[in-house]
Amino acid sequence: MLRAVIYARCSTEEESQIDALKKQVEEAKACVQDNGWILMDSYVESRSGTTTKGRTEYNRLYEDLLCDKFDIIVIKSQDRLMRNTKDWYLFVDRMSTEQKRLYMYIERKFYTPDDALITGIKAILAEEYSRELSKKINNSHRNRQKNNGTVILTSNTYGYRKLTDKSIVLEEEEAAVKRRMYELCAAGFGSRTISTILQNDGIYNRNGKPFTDSAILRILRNPLNKGTAVMNRKHFDFETKKTIKVPEEEQYVYENRVPRTVSDELWEVANQEIDKRAVRVNGKNGEKRGQYRGKSHLSGKIFCGLCGTPYYRRTRRRYKDGKIIYEWKCKRYLETGRNHGVFDRPQLRRVGLEEIEGCDNVHLDEEILYQFLERVCKEHYQIDREQIIRDMVRMLRNSLKDRDYEPEIERANRKRDKLREQMSRLVDKLLEGVISDKIYRKKQSELEKEQEELHDKLLELEQKKAKGSVVEERLRNIEKVLLDGQAVEKATVAGMLEDIEKIFIYPEYMELEFSLFNAIGIEMVEVPAEIGRKTVRIEYGNLFNYREKKQADREQIVDMIRENPNITAKMIAARLGCSLSGANYKLKALKQEGRIRFDGKGGKGEWKILEE
């Protein structure tokens, strides 16, 4: 029995179209059953057919054409598959190459190569129809917006509801949530902190999930919440299939067009607070805080070993000298703070969260981190990297298999035979007087061009097949080149980070996950990703745990006093490698904790350890 799949599509998700889509699916399934085929899968979606972008089910069908999963594709009509000429020809070419068949049940017939001309014309007409329809819709929207027409809101617009008469009313419960967002923002809380506060109070979005900081920022920036509708902000371009932002001078702004959620004053204050964060200027060079300053070598590589979230790069200004400090912090900490409130971020400390679980992992001072990684390079990286290379090549040798190009070559040969048969039939039709000489020459030219392309493809496949047979030799050469030092000499932090795929951070150690596929450069074989990975654990103690580091320094001072009760702050500073003021600060902290005291006056006397 033949295996069949169905594809059904409609353009929108409106209720009437959803009913039409259900009917289309039922008809397609009935067609499969009536013909005695076996239904293997269904590809159903509600998307526009003018492009393949975003059409998950169509793209899945297009990829499944390469698999031996079905024999027949059942659709209602050609325009259900797509309304784009180029995509139609690409689909038909792959379908024919893979020897699949297309059945249009509304016409009760299979697509055949003889239909190429008429189906091509249909594809052109369908695309032109969509283009004209797009122009009319865009023009209609523009005129409506220009003439202060009805405000169009999506069903996902939080805080509002559209009635059947197209009027817009507030959803009071959701509006109250938005007012609280504005009030918190006006009070100086950032969008991440607002998200955490709402989550702590059990307030979630319509999907039952926490508000993201980006969603909160969009709500706060939206003038709709003060009753102002801004129309013609974006425009969909049919030719490029992209949504283009319209310049501000071409937009239409109408005040008091929808019920306001907050007052103009509260909206302005909240947005001024956002502007302050985004446009905080460095007095020396005028750079704006928050601007993208170039991707760091560490970006996208550092992850929290405790909660699994990525680390983000943040900046702060050191109080005593104004120096900019770059730090990497766990995403969960940035959103929810610590589990111990006393060590929390200042904004979250003001709120006093109870229901949210934070993250107690360490922060990474970028300068100290790079110094540590430089030491790792010198002490571990070269040796470990050579061992990684040997292990990886050994695993590759055990796991790599030459790609089998025979099925593709066989399909190409079948297509070549089919082209020869078509050319032979074409000559017969010319001799029989069925077609004119002009049509013959045109069709013959098309077939010859297709034959040349197929010939080039066969040559390429044969070359790949030949390359695939020398994998073992390539591995030996790769191992020799890498171990000879031509690539190992990249022993710098930047070079090491090129080979590191991920860095997992823990309070007292990190795990470096290496991947050397880029260095080895094997492209013609498909290898499981885990084959090329190796994890190296590097201990760093309390290097980044500043509180424990401070506590360790204080314990060291207590030991110094135990050894020499007459020790001075200057001597302590020399032994700790810190400044005199730093040593005095540590001694003061120990005295405030009630652990030591100084007996004597005028600098004469000795230290006493109280805990003993």
pLDDT, average across residues 556-579: 85
Predicted local distance difference test score (pLDDT) of residue 610: 82
Residues of the chain above pLDDT 70, percent: 73
> Can you give the pLDDT at residue 612?
52
pLDDT at 392: 64
CA distances from 262 to 103, 195, 252, 277 (A): 57, 19, 21, 22
463-467, 517-521, 551-555, 593-597: range with lowest mean pLDDT: 517-521
Largest CA distance in the chain: 126
Q: Which of 297, 330, 350 is nearest to 187 (CA)?
A: 350
- Whether the pLDDT of residue 170 is over 90: the answer is no
pLDDT by residue (tens digit) across 86-121?
788 888 888 888 889 999 898 888 988 766 666 667
pLDDT at position 282, please? 44
Domain boundaries, the chain: 3-132, 168-278, 294-402+469-541, 406-468, 546-609
331-361: pLDDT as tens digits: 888 888 887 766 667 777 777 777 777 888 9
In whole angstroms, give the CA distance from residue 268 to residue 275: 10
3-state secondary structure of 8: strand
Residues 409, 412, 417, 418, CA torsion sign: positive
Percent of the chain with pLDDT over 90: 15
Least confident of 305-309, 469-473, 602-606: 469-473
Split at pLDDT 50, 70, 90, the class of 506 is very high
Classify domain 546-609 at the CATH topology level: Arc Repressor Mutant, subunit A (1.10.10)
- Tell me the pLDDT band of 487, cut-offs 50, 70 and 90: very low
Q: Is the separation of the CB atoms in 225 and 159 below 8 Å?
A: yes
Are the beta carbons of 328 and 313 closer than 8 angstroms?
yes
- Is residue 256 left, alpha or beta, with left meaning phi > 0 and alpha meaning psi from -120 to 50? left
Residue 329 bridge partners (DSSP): 312
Q: What is the CATH number of domain 168-278?
A: 3.90.1750.20
Q: Is residue 227 scored above 50 in pLDDT? A: yes
Q: Which residue has the higher pLDDT, 109 or 393?
A: 109
Average pLDDT over residues 604-609: 81
Note the pLDDT of residue 523.
Answer: 44
Higher pLDDT, 8 or 126: 8
Averaged confidence pLDDT in the chain: 78
Please tell me whether residue 500 adopts helix, strand or coil conformation. Answer: strand
Average pLDDT on 308-335 reads 84
The pLDDT of residue 505 is 93
Q: pLDDT tens digit string along 420-431?
A: 888 888 778 777
CA distance 511 to 573: 34
Higher pLDDT, 496 or 123: 496
pLDDT band at residue 28 using 50, 70 and 90 as cut-offs: very high
Q: Convert the pLDDT of each residue in 66-84 to its tens digit.
A: 888 899 999 998 888 877 7
Question: What pLDDT is attached to residue 488?
Answer: 44
Q: Compute the distance between CA of residue 223 and CA of residue 178 in angstroms, rounded to an integer.
A: 13
Collapse the DSSP code of 133 into the 3-class scheme (helix H, G, I; strand E, B; otherwise coil) and give the result.
helix
Q: What is the pLDDT of residue 49?
A: 66
| 3 state SS of 279 | coil
The whole-number pLDDT of residue 30 equals 92
So what's the pLDDT on residue 543? 82
pLDDT of residue 504: 94
What pLDDT was estimated at residue 489? 44
Look at residue 285 and tell me whether its pLDDT is greater than 50: no
Q: Are 288 and 279 in contact (CB under 8 A)?
A: yes
**Confidence at 142, pLDDT banded by 50, 70, 90:** low
pLDDT, position 557: 87
Per-residue confidence at 526, pLDDT binned at 50, 70, 90? Answer: very low
Judged against a pLDDT cut of 50, whether residue 229 lies above it is answered with yes
Reported as a pLDDT band with limits 50, 70 and 90, residue 43 is: very high
Which residues make Cβ contacts (< 8 Å) with residue 3, sequence separation at least 6?
Answer: 37, 38, 40, 69, 70, 71, 72
- Residue ranges of E strands in 26-113: 38-46, 72-75, 101-104, 109-110
Q: Of 25-29, 460-464, 511-515, which range is least confident? A: 460-464
Query: What φ, ψ does residue 98 adopt, rounded to 5°?
Result: -85, 5
Among 31-45, 218-232, 425-439, which is the least confidently predicted range?
425-439
Report the topology of domain 3-132. Answer: Rossmann fold (3.40.50)
At residue 173, the pLDDT reads: 92
> Is the CB of residue 572 less than 8 Å from the CB of residue 585?
no
Is pLDDT above 60 for 281? no
User: Which segment of 109-123, 147-161, 289-303, 331-345 scores lowest on mean pLDDT?
Assistant: 289-303
